[in-house]
Amino acid sequence: MNNYLEETFKKAIKDYRSYESEINAKWGGRKRLFKCVDVALEIKFCKAEMIFADSLANDPHKIKMDRLAMMERAYAALIKKAEENGHKELDINFKCYEYAKDQIAIVCDYDSQLPGLKKIHGKDKDVVLFSVQELFRFVDPYIGIKRSLKDININGTFTRVNYK
């Protein structure tokens, strides 16, 4: 019986991780979802995650299965509230990135896609919207430096330096 529970749990956790990945792709990750809902729901979700993580480490498979179902309900509640607040899944042409500390950027490839991006995600709170074309215009001087390094056979990469 224990072997059956273990195999059932392994399949369920694999399915859950796929579900989680799908949500990250469709919504741009937890951070973006948190920005689409109120803080109280974010806190509830994080508490559920802590209970789930503790359960994975310590509980028998039956309880782990219950916690897995709890997390699926928690994600469903996050998504439902985000949609009720007027937010939408990301279009296949848009990507979501985290940068700096707790900042979100939604990016499209071309300037021509920006009006659509702004129309769909313009009211997302604390989110920067831009195109990759804009980025290349901004980093053009650095691209020239990188090209010069490549021309003299140096594989240069840029890293951020934080001063304390």
Q: Kindly list the distances between the CA atom of residue 32 and the CA atoms of 12, 105, 137, 164, in Å, as whole numbers in the listed order.
A: 26, 9, 26, 29
Task: Give the tens place of pLDDT for each residue, 47-88.
Answer: 999 999 999 999 988 899 999 999 999 999 999 999 999 888
Task: Give the tens place of pLDDT for each residue, 91-140.
Answer: 888 998 888 877 888 999 999 998 988 888 887 778 889 899 988 888 77
pLDDT at 151 over 70: no
Q: What is the per-residue pLDDT for 157?
A: 64
Q: What is the per-residue pLDDT for 119?
A: 87
Report yes or no: 71 and 49 within 8 Å, Cβ to Cβ: yes
Give the residue extent of every domain in the chain. 2-84, 95-151
| Burial classification of residue 51, based on how many CB atoms lie within 10 Å of its CB (0-12 exposed, 13-18 middle, 19 or more buried) | middle
What count of other Cβ atoms lies within 10 Å of the Cβ of residue 61?
18
pLDDT at 2 over 80: no
Q: What is the per-residue pLDDT for 18?
A: 94
Q: What is the per-residue pLDDT for 19?
A: 94
pLDDT at 40 over 70: yes
What count of other Cβ atoms lies within 10 Å of the Cβ of residue 126?
10
Question: Which pTM value belongs to this model?
Answer: 0.74
